[in-house]
């Protein structure tokens, strides 16, 4: 079953996603031996994430949120950092410095997206991937974020992300905050504004160990469990 949550602000999209999983999630014992509540094919659309400011610092966070603005900004900046930080994978590295061309030069997928959209604003080819099937099929930790697609429509940059797995409780807000940071980087180069962010999570889940913390934040934002 596909679940669609659509709100204007990122904080409301995230809060409602948590509510949906806590109310309707099925218990799943995952590959790491942890208990989770899961919903499948959760689509989260944030229609107007920046208000009028086009800056991630204008994104509202929920009351009593577990992550500081400094943490969110640092995380977001890492998504555009091409350096390999010695983890099994780093999103910034996969997006900007991991894959090689026929001359063994790193492919900056974000720059390629910008080039494609500058060349043709109606392009459907402005995508970036993180998955490396040669390496990742041998690893336990593989990218949760698999693909980013960028479209210019109505003179705005629309972002769609596909996650194979998404920790909604403790990661999804930061993930989407970072994706919007990437979006502003691209949109600025194109001279346009960012439109909606759509995130499709195939497995959207909250870990059992995080449930009480999420319920606390929900209670501080008007949701009673």
Catalytic residues: 144
What angle in degrees, to the nearest 10, is found between the helix axes of 172-190 and 109-119?
50
> How far, in Å, CA of 206 to CA of 21, rounded?
7
Q: Are 139 and 177 in contact (CB under 8 A)?
A: no
Burial of 168: CB neighbours in 10 Å, binned 0-12, 13-18, 19+: buried
> How far, in Å, CA of 146 to CA of 133, rounded?
11
> How far, in Å, CA of 4 to CA of 109, rounded?
29
Nearest to 114 by CA among 183, 44, 43, 28: 183
Helix residue ranges per DSSP H, 133-171: 133-136
Q: How many CB atoms lie within 10 A of CB 67?
A: 15
């Amino acid at each position: 079953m596909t679940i669609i949550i659509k709100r204007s602000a990122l904080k409301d999209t995230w809060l409602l996603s948590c509510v949906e999983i806590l109310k309707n999630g099925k218990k799943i014992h995952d590959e790491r031996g942890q208990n989770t509540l899961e919903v499948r094919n959760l689509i989260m659309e944030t229609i107007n994430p920046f208000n009028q400011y086009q800056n991630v610092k204008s994104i509202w966070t929920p009351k009593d949120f577990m992550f500081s603005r400094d943490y969110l900004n640092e995380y977001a900046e890492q998504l555009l950092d091409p350096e390999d930080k010695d983890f099994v994978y780093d999103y910034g590295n996969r997006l900007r410095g991991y894959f090689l061309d026929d001359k063994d030069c790193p492919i900056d997928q974000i720059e390629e997206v910008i080039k494609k959209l500058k060349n043709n604003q109606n392009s459907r080819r402005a995508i970036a991937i993180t998955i490396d099937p040669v390496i990742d099929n041998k690893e336990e930790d593989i990218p949760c974020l698999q693909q980013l697609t960028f479209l210019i429509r109505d003179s705005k940059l629309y972002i769609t992300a596909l996650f194979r797995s998404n920790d909604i409780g403790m990661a999804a807000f930061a993930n989407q905050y970072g994706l919007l940071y990437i979006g502003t980087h691209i949109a600025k180069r194109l001279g346009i504004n960012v439109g909606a962010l759509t995130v499709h999570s195939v497995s959207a889940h909250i870990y059992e160990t995080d449930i009480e913390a999420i319920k606390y934040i929900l209670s501080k934002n008007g949701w009673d469990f």
